[in-house]
């Protein structure tokens, strides 16, 4: 009979200890998760310009099944967090992607014809390139597992099953082009889809601008694309333009 109170006392002590320790363990786990996310965001933010407005050059190659050599293209771009993105391909032919937001995005021909962006091109622009350019680190740490490889390349693996159906991985690496004082940062983005096909984009010759506001952003766009002023006007007022 004397053992029962003793057992109850021991059980009470054990439960009390468990109640005390469990919240501490949960808090420690939450703290680690917060620290891990902060580290991932810091790694991502180090890859791209910190400013709100910048321009640059790009070269791209896409490997496709059935083709003996990659498809290559090159051009220039202008990004403004207040205005949007002009992604201008100049080689092997001239066209542009005008991205305002997830609703308003177009493919623009030299003659001014606009067609709505759709399919894979729209998905990649909306969910990868534009988010990377604007430094949306929170999106990538929420949707991807981010790790740093031995060569400092960042490896992003999608966490949701739905995203993994179309995307295998994103790799981001930062390097430099030029020599000495002329050394310029360059960023390589490699997207591998679920079929194993790769799209690799090198961004370099990046120039940042220190102005503020949508009007100044539009004026800079006009300066860069003086021969294609309707592109900048589409970004400024997309509702005024019809897409066919």
Helix H or strand E segment including 24: helix 3-45
Cα distance between residue 196 and residue 188, in whole Å: 18
55 vs 1 pLDDT, higher one: 55
Percent above pLDDT 70 for the chain: 79
Quick: pLDDT tens for 133-176.
888 889 899 999 999 999 889 999 999 988 888 889 999 998 87
pLDDT at 178: 57
How confident is residue 31, by pLDDT bands cut at 50, 70 and 90?
low
The answer, yes or no, to whether residue 19 has pLDDT greater than 60, is: yes
The helix (H) or strand (E) run that includes residue 102 is none
Beta bridge partners, 190, equal 171, 200
Q: Find out whether 152 and 178 touch, Cβ atoms under 8 Å.
A: no
Mean pLDDT of the region 90-112: 85
Q: Which of 139, 125, 115, 45 is nearest to 86 (CA)?
A: 125
User: Could you count the other beta carbons within 10 Å of the beta carbon of residue 224?
Assistant: 16
- Rg over alpha carbons for the chain, rounded to the nearest Å, is 25
Which residue, chain included where needed, has tokens 């991205």?
A: 99
197-208, pLDDT tens digit by residue? 889 999 999 999
Containing 163, the helix (H) or strand (E) segment is helix 161-164
Most confident of 11-15, 177-181, 222-226: 222-226
pLDDT in tens, 116-128: 887 777 777 777 8
User: What pLDDT does residue 217 have?
Assistant: 94
pLDDT band with cut points at 50, 70 and 90 for residue 195: confident
For the cut 70, the answer to whether the pLDDT of residue 108 exceeds it is yes
The pLDDT of residue 51 is 85
Q: Which CATH superfamily is domain 46-240 in?
A: Lipoprotein localisation LolA/LolB/LppX (2.50.20.10)
Of 132, 130, 177, 176, the residue nearest 154 (C-alpha): 132
Residue with tokens 């002590």: 13
Contact 46, 174 (CB under 8 A): yes
Beta strands in 28-143 (DSSP E): 53-62, 71-80, 84-91, 95-99, 105-108, 114-116
List, for residues 63-89, the tens digit of each pLDDT value. Answer: 887 888 889 999 999 999 999 999 999
Contact 167, 140 (CB under 8 A): no
- Region 5-19: mean pLDDT is 63
* Among candidate residues 198, 203, 205, the one with its CA nearest the CA of residue 187: 203
Predicted TM-score (pTM) of the model is 0.78
């Amino acid at each position: 009979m004397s053992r029962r109170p003793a057992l109850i006392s021991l059980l009470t002590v054990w439960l009390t200890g468990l109640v005390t320790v469990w919240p501490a363990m949960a808090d420690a786990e939450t703290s680690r998760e917060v620290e891990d996310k902060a580290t991932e965001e810091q790694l991502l933010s180090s890859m791209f310009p910190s400013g709100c407005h910048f321009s640059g050059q790009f070269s791209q190659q896409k490997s496709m099944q059935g083709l003996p050599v990659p498809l290559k293209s090159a051009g220039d771009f202008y990004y403004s967090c207040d205005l949007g993105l002009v992604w201008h391909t100049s080689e092997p032919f001239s066209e542009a992607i005008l991205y305002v937001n997830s609703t308003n995005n177009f493919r623009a021909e030299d003659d001014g014809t606009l067609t709505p962006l759709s399919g894979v091109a729209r998905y990649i622009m909306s969910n990868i390139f534009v988010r990377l350019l604007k430094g949306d680190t929170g999106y990538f740490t929420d949707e991807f597992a981010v790790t740093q490889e031995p060569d400092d390349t960042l490896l992003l693996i999608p966490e949701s099953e739905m995203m993994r159906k179309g995307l295998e991985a994103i790799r981001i690496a930062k390097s430099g082009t030029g020599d000495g004082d002329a050394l310029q940062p360059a960023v390589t983005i490699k997207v591998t889809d679920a079929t194993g096909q790769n799209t690799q984009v090198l961004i370099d010759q990046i120039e940042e601008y220190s102005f503020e506001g949508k009007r100044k952003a539009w004026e800079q766009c006009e300066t860069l694309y003086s021969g294609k002023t309707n592109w900048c006007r589409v970004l400024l007022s997309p509702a005024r333009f019809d897409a066919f």
